[in-house]
Amino acid sequence: ATPASAQLRPGEVSLAGVTKQFGDMTAVRELDLRVRAGEFLSMLGPSGSGKTTVLRMIAGFEEVTSGSIRIGNQDVTRLPAHQRPVNTVFQDYALFPHLSIADNVAYGLKVRGESKADRIASVTAALEQVRLQHVADRLPHQLSGGQRQRIALARALILRPRVLLLDEPLGALDKQLREEMQIELKSMQREVGITFIFVTHDQEEALTLSDRVAVFNDGRIEQVDTARAVYEYPETEFVARFLGLSNIIPAPLAAQLTGSDRAISIRPERVRLIEGDAAPRPHDVILDGTVAEVVYTGPTTRVLVDAADGLRIIAETPNSHHPSADVRVDRGDRVRVAWEADHAAALP
């Protein structure tokens, strides 16, 4: 937790001991989180884990039950939403259907009382930034989903908030457009240098976009760290399982294999098949087993191997252009699987 007296930079956000109850249901429990200025932080977790509630408390749409929230050097815990230096982009974009795109983007500036000349200049610049100058005179329903998404961003960014809150803003887009927008969103964030706090339940999206990922489970943060660290070195079984495929080796088996008294998690792409009498590497952990299934996924092939004690290990290897160079095992083959000891993460 950040001490109440600590100096925060503009654009830094700090939550200390934040709890939210809806009646006797606790949605967020004693949450501590510090988001750095200019950082892209994702809140990732399953449905109902409390991400949106945290976002709404930062925005001021929801009151905290206890704890405090600071943005920069201001305690905003009791401040109404419109006085906070933040802006929110929602999944449904919330554009005004009867206003032109230019008027939608200008709306916040008008509310602030800016002159018409200033508004026009700012709107032109904001539309250029999202490369949509040519749609200024259209109505929202005349835009594609991806374009509406960009307009929602332009409308939020034009107010120059210190912090931008985004609640599943790409959720309504199809997969391809979503992936394009992810890359755009990331470069836009880097350009404007504003703190982005982004809610998603899509692990790939969180990993792609974020400087750091906060993994939520049941109103708590299980781990907050860089995308690479939460993926490669999950600190809990929940994090290991939520961020993609993982091999979990329970404590007693891990003890036999590695001497560790803790369960371990190892990602499938770190597991190799050792074919024939090929030699293992010096720090390999090795298991014998039988191939249960071979699954082609496009970029990779997954081989499911049944080892002793009911343990099933997944090994995933990239496919090459030449099928002859790919994995050549079949169901029922006896194989050895191996991974380097320090590629595994110890779980509590």
What is residue 312's three-state secondary structure? strand
In the complex, least distance from residue 55 CB atom to ligand ATP, rounded to whole angstroms? 8
Pick the closer one to ligand ATP by CB: 24 or 277. 24
In the complex, least distance from residue 204 CB atom to ligand ATP, rounded to whole angstroms? 16
In the complex, least distance from residue 270 CB atom to ligand ATP, rounded to whole angstroms? 29
Give the residue from 333, 228, 342 showing the smallest Cα distance to 291.
333
In the complex, least distance from residue 221 CB atom to ligand ATP, rounded to whole angstroms? 12
The Cβ of residue 252 has, within 10 Å, a number of other Cβ atoms equal to: 11
The separation between the first and the last C-alpha atoms of the chain, rounded to the nearest angstrom, is 22
Tokens 């290897």 belong to residue:
317
In the complex, least distance from residue 213 CB atom to ligand ATP, rounded to whole angstroms? 14
DSSP code of 11? T
Q: Nearest-5° angle of CA 315, CA 321, CA 326? A: 35
List of residues contacting ligand ATP (CB under 6 A): 22, 25, 27, 45, 47-53, 201
Give the residue from 89, 70, 61 showing the smallest Cα distance to 18.
70
Tokens of 11: 């654009």
The Cβ of residue 303 has, within 10 Å, a number of other Cβ atoms equal to: 25
Q: Are the C-beta atoms of 215 and 50 separated by less than 8 Å?
A: no
In the complex, least distance from residue 58 CB atom to ligand ATP, rounded to whole angstroms? 12
In the complex, least distance from residue 217 CB atom to ligand ATP, rounded to whole angstroms? 10
- CA 148 to CA 142: how far, in whole Å? 9
In the complex, least distance from residue 48 CB atom to ligand ATP, rounded to whole angstroms? 4
Q: Which amino acid is at 284?
A: D
> Which contiguous run of DSSP H or E holds residue 29?
strand 25-35
Q: Are the C-beta atoms of 245 and 316 separated by less than 8 Å?
A: yes
DSSP code of 271? -
Tokens 């749409």 belong to residue:
61
- Looking at beta carbons, which residue is closest to ligand ATP? 52
